[in-house]
Amino acid sequence: MQVRKMTAVLVGAGNRGCVYSDYSLCAPDELSIVAVVEPNELRRNEAGERYSIPENMRFETLDEFLASKIDCDFVINATMDEWHYETAKKIMEAKYDMLLEKPIVNNEKELLDLQRTAKENGVKVNVCHVLRYTPFYKTLKTILDSGDIGTIMTMEMNEHVGIAHFIDSFVRGKWNSVARCGSGFLLQKSCHDMDLICWLNNATKPIRVTSLGSRSQFIKANAPQGATKYCYDCPHNQTCLYSAQKIHVDVDSMPFQTWAHMNKPLDSITREEKLEDLKTSPYGLCAYDSGGDINDRQIVSVEFENGSACTFTMVGGACKAGRAIHIVGTKGEIEGNIEHSKFTVRRFDRSGDKFDFDEEEIDVSKSIHESTNYGGHGGGDYAIMYELVRYLQGDNSSISITKLDDSINSHLVVYAAEKSIQERKTIDL
């Protein structure tokens, strides 16, 4: 289709907001970022420069932007989890279509209220479940929908979060406590996987959920003898798996998170400043005693109306990060790992006197967009924007589109899983 150039306003110019807005740099004929709303002055101006936004279109608060009644095609809402409800509601009431970061919100009442608000105001809201747009899951879904492997009997999935990512985000970082960010590990990290479970199996719907999980590794009782509050003066600093100096300075795994509080351009921060900062910052704390309460492992089981049974295992702190999936259907199987960009399809072979199965390897690596900016999430960060600008112009052909209505079930599954752990029972949806 012929694509008209669209205009968007960025609300929340942090890490994720810039990932999506960078589509305007990658595809300038399709998108322009015309205004930014960001309370942090440095970030507001960095985004302003990056997307060539004039001074009078750089807003400190959402209310100032809404009062200015600027015309645009959609708003990108990439504020942190705890701001989603308030900001999303106001943006919908002002009748802007919106791309909303996941998780939508952390409770059923607000979730259903946002669904109602979107309907009442006639706005389109798409949720950033970027994995649905990856060539890996999209191709897999196409095969499932074709009926090639029959009806899903079981689906096993896992997400192994690598050690540096887990420590940076969920042990020392901004998602380390439910009270602080409003999200648990499952909602924050793996609502993507709950979304995939519900979307891949949307011929039916989830009816029952049970879950087990705990935080049992990153607790004070496991700290080695003599460990100190901060890593810098700890006798185990050089040998500990979770050494702050190694993860955050030597490897510097997620600098946009670790050093964000220093409020300086990242490339201007020296090694010495980083080491000094770790003497007082949460990123320098002992990983066994960092004040967080997020689970470091969890298992979720979901039963669907047609009897299909799905399990999901997540763990924080793995050597090798990755997501694996194994679906068994009535006519065949699909098995793969997104990191390999390929999966295997098996089908029963009963031709002639055979009692066997054949195997086909599906390689999706060639379909991933080459831009390094958009290598993120297996190509999903790029593809969600590519498909969004088309969807908002009336193209309904994509099977991935993450409409708000289609994201409700997965959030309900997450809330039920957390309730199952708390109440030690199976939850009916």
Chain residues binding ligand NAD by CB under 6 A are 11-17, 37-40, 43, 62, 78-81, 83, 87, 101-102, 128, 130, 188, 377
DSSP string, 395-429: ----S---BGGGGHHHHHHHHHHHHHHHHTS-EE-
Q: Are 126 and 389 in contact (CB under 8 A)?
A: no
CB of 192 to ligand NAD, least distance (A): 6
Whichever of 103 and 213 has its CB closer to ligand NAD, that residue is 103
Closer to ligand NAD by Cβ: residue 17 or 282: 17
Distance of closest approach, residue 111 Cβ to ligand NAD, in angstroms:
14
Rank residues 37 and 401 by Cβ distance to ligand NAD and give the closer one. 37
Calpha distance 199→310 (Å, rounded): 12
Q: Select 26 or 66, whichever has its Cβ closest to ligand NAD.
A: 66
In whole angstroms, the minimum distance from the beta carbon of 241 to ligand NAD comes to 24
**Closest residue (Cβ) to ligand NAD?**
14
Minimum CB distance to ligand NAD smaller for 17 or for 184: 17
Sheet strands side by side (includes 74-77): 58-59, 31-37, 6-11, 74-77, 97-100, 125-127
Cross-strand pairs, 330: none
Residue 284 beta carbon to ligand NAD: minimum distance, rounded to whole angstroms: 19
Reduced to 3 states (helix: H, G, I; strand: E, B; else coil), residue 384 is helix
Task: Name the H helices within 167-217.
Answer: 178-181, 185-188, 191-200
Please give the Cα distance from 388 to 397 (Å, whole number).
11
- Does the CA dihedral 39-37-188-240 come out positive or negative? negative
Minimum distance, C-beta of residue 90 to ligand NAD, in the bound complex (Å) = 9
**Cα–Cα dist 334/95, whole Å:** 42
What whole-number distance in Å separates Cα of residue 193 and Cα of residue 320? 18
Minimum CB separation from ligand NAD for residue 86, in Å? 7
Residue closer to ligand NAD by CB (options 45, 237) is 45
Find the length of the chain. 429
d(CA 72, CA 278): 42
Q: Least CB distance from residue 130 to ligand NAD, whole Å?
A: 5
* Contact indicator for 206, 303 with CB cutoff of 8 Å: yes
Nearer to ligand NAD, 44 or 141 (CB): 44
- Give min distance, CB of 237 to ligand NAD, in A: 28
Q: Whose Cβ is closer to ligand NAD: residue 64's or residue 359's?
A: 64
